[in-house]
Chain A
Amino acid sequence: MTKTEKKPGIVTRNLNVTFNGVPAIENIDLELHRNTVTAVIGPSGCGKSTFLRALNLMHDMTPKCKVTGQITILDKEITEYTGVELRKRVGMIFQKPNPFPDMSIFDNVISGWKLSGMHNKKFYNEIAEKALRNSDLWDEVKDRLKEPAISLSGGQQQRLCIARTLAVEPYIILMDEPTSALDPISTQNVENTIYRLKSEYTFIIVTHNMQQAARISDVTAFFYLGKLVEVGSTRKIFTNPDEKLTEDYVSGKFG
C-alpha cells in the first residue's frame, strides 16, 4: 500500500457515541483523505475528543459508552481490526504529555515495539534515532538518551510522545489539543514537526487555537453540540464558510 494515494483514510457514516445513554456526538458523516492535516474545531464539550477517540477504539475502555454507526479506516471496517492492530496504524497524541515516567528517553521512544515483544536491540537504535529526528528532538536529547523521560521540559516531553508514536510507524495520527499545555515556542516546534511530516502521515488534530488550525491544516471540521456543522478546506472555513454558525465561531463571536 503506498501512502501517498489521495483516497480516504477515514470515513465515518452515521457515527454516534453515547455515554450512559446520553449522546455526545450524533450522526457524524465525514471523509478524511490521506496525507492531509484535518483540524477539528468547536467549543468545549461539543464532542471533539469523543469523535477522535472513536477512531482508535479508545472508547472500549470506558464503561457505559456505546459507539454505533460505521467507521472505515484505511479501506477496512473498523470492526475487522482488533484494538492492537488498529492502534498500530492509528496513533494518538494526548493533550497532556504522558511519557512513561519510569522509563528513560530511549526506552520511551521504543516502548511501542518493546512492549509488543520485539527484542532486536540493533533495530531499536535505528528506530529511536529516526523517530527522534522526525520529531525534531534528536539534537536536544542525543547525548542524554538514558536519562529519565520526566527530566525533559513539557514541550520536549510532548515531542517525545510524538517520537514514540512515530516509532511504531502508523498511517494516521490523532492529536487531541497537543499543544494546549505548551508554551509558544514549544507549540511552534510541534507545529513545525506536523508540517514537515504531513506528506507521510494523515493527521487529525483537535485544537482550540484558530490560528493554529489556520496555520497547519488543509481541511477543517467544525463541531457544535455533538453535530458536525461544516467541513471543508481550511481556507474556505476561515474566509467564506457556508454556515452562519461556523462564521460566528471562527470569527470569535462565541466559543
Chain B
Amino acid sequence: MELNSITYSKAKLRRRKFVNALMLSLCVVSALITIIPLIYIFFYTTGAGLSSLNLDFFTELPKPVGEEGGGMANAIVGTLILIGIGSVIGIPIGIMSGIYVAEYSKQLFANIIKFLTDVLTGIPSIIIGIFVYGIIVLPMKKFSALAGGVALGILMIPTITRITEEMFKLVPMSLREASLALGVSRWRTTVSIVLRTALSGIITGILLAIARAAGETAPLLFTAFGNSFWSSSLDEPISSIPVQIFNYAISPYEEWHNKAWAGAFILISLVFVINLIVRIITRQKYENTV
C-alpha cells in the first residue's frame, strides 16, 4: 500500500480520495432511499390509520355508505381463515416437496423442480388468481373462501419448498450418517434428525410466506371475492383485509378512505409482527450454533 501510493502523484491521490468519498456517499444515499419509503409508509399509515381505529373496527361489520361507524371484523377474520386454508395446503405440500427434492430425488429431477419453483415464485399473483378461478370458481359457479385459500396456498408453496430444500442442504451429511449407522430408517432419519435440525429455518420461511400471502389482493379478487357480512361456510365468498382496503380505497367516500388506512395499518402491523418473530427465531438459532 504505502509503497504503491508513493508512485502516485498528489493530484492522482486527491482524485482517488474524491472518487472514494463520492461512491461512499452514493451508497449511503441508496441505503436511505431503500428505507425512506418504508418509514414513510409506516408513519403515514399509522397517522392516517390510527385515527379511525377503535374497538368497533375489530368487532363490527362494515356499514353501508352514509352510516357512521362500523368496522372490518369480518375481513380480519376472513384473512385469518384464508391464511389458515392457505397454510393447510401450502405448508405440507411445500415442506414435502422440499424434502423430496433435497433428500430423495435424482439430480436432474431436482434441478427441474427447482427451476419450476423459481418460475412459480416469479409468476404475478393475479395469474394464480385467474388459474384458481378457472379450476375452482368456474366449476363451483361461485366465489368462495376455499378458492381464495387455495390461491394463497399455491402462492406459498414455492417459497416453502425452496427454503425447506435449502435448510435441508445445510444439515451436515455426518448427522444423517450418524443416525443411519444406528439402524434408524431413512425416513425416520429425515424426519427426526434432518427436519428437526432444519426446523427453525423452515419456520422462518413459512412465516415469511404467510406474511407475503396475508397482503395479497389480486389473487383474492377472482376467488374469495369479498362481502360485507359474516361468511357462514367455506364455499361462500369471504371478506379479507386487502380486498376490503381495495374496495374502500377506490370508493369516493372520505369515511371509507379512513377505514382503508386503518386496514392498511393492521396489515402492516401483522407483517411487522411476523418479521419480528422471524428475527427472534433466527437469533435463537444463531445462539444455539455458537
Contacts and interface: CB of A to CB of B under 8 A. Distances in A.
Given A111-B179, A112-B183, 20 more contacts: A58-B181, A63-B107, A83-B186, A88-B183, A91-B181, A94-B181, A98-B175, A99-B178, A101-B175, A102-B197, A111-B182, A111-B184, A115-B188, A115-B189, A115-B192, A115-B193, A116-B182, A116-B185, A165-B181, A168-B182
B174 A98 contact: yes
A168 B177 contact: no
B181 A84 contact: no
Given A63-B107, A115-B189, A102 B182 contact: no
A82 to B, nearest CB: 9
Top 6 nearest A-B pairs (CB, nearest first) are A88-B183, A112-B182, A92-B181, A87-B183, A98-B174, A115-B184
A130 interface: no
B279 interface: no
Contacts of A88: 183
B175 A100 contact: yes
Contacts of A99: 178
Contact of A94 (B174, B184, B186, B288): B174
A83 B183 CA distance: 7
A215 B102 CA distance: 43
A190 interface: no
Interface residues of A, number: 28
Interface in B176-216: 176-186, 188-189, 192-193, 196-197
Contacts of B175: 98, 100-101
A185 interface: no
A163 to B, nearest CB: 12
A93 to B, nearest CB: 8
A161 B177 CA distance: 12
A227 B274 CA distance: 59
Interface in A68-105: 83-88, 91-92, 94, 96, 98-102
Interface of B: 106-107, 172, 174-186, 188-189, 192-193, 196-197, 288-289
Interface of A: 56, 58, 61, 63, 83-88, 91-92, 94, 96, 98-102, 111-112, 115-117, 161, 164-165, 168
B182 A83 contact: no
Contact of B288 (A91, A102, A165): A102
Given A58-B180, A83-B180, A98-B177, A116 B186 contact: no
Q: Which of B182, B189, B192, B197 neighbours the largest number of chain A CB atoms within 10 Å of its CB?
A: B182
Contacts, number: 73
A56 B289 CA distance: 30
A187 to B, nearest CB: 20
Contacts of A56: 181
Given A61-B176, A94-B178, A100 B193 contact: yes
Q: Which of A99, A100, A164 neighbours the largest number of chain B CB atoms within 10 Å of its CB?
A: A100
B184 A84 contact: yes
B174 A116 contact: no
Nearest to A86: B183
Given A100-B175, A102-B196, A115-B192, A61 B183 contact: no
Contact of A116 (B178, B181, B183): B183
A88 B179 CA distance: 11
A61 B184 CA distance: 14
A165 B185 CA distance: 15
Nearest to B188: A115
A84 B179 CA distance: 11
A21 to B, nearest CB: 16
Q: Which of A84, A94, A99, A115 neighbours the largest number of chain B CB atoms within 10 Å of its CB?
A: A115
Contacts of A102: 196-197, 288
Nearest to B107: A63
A188 B184 CA distance: 30
15 contacts: A63-B106, A63-B107, A85-B183, A87-B183, A88-B183, A92-B177, A98-B175, A100-B175, A101-B288, A102-B288, A111-B182, A115-B189, A115-B192, A164-B182, A165-B182
A115 B177 contact: no
Nearest to A148: B288
B184 A100 contact: no
Contacts of A96: 174
A168 to B, nearest CB: 6
Q: Which of B184, B186, B288 neighbours the largest number of chain A CB atoms within 10 Å of its CB?
A: B184
A61 B182 contact: no
Contacts of B184: 84, 111-112, 115-116
Contacts of A86: 183
B174 A115 contact: no
Contacts of A61: 176-177, 180
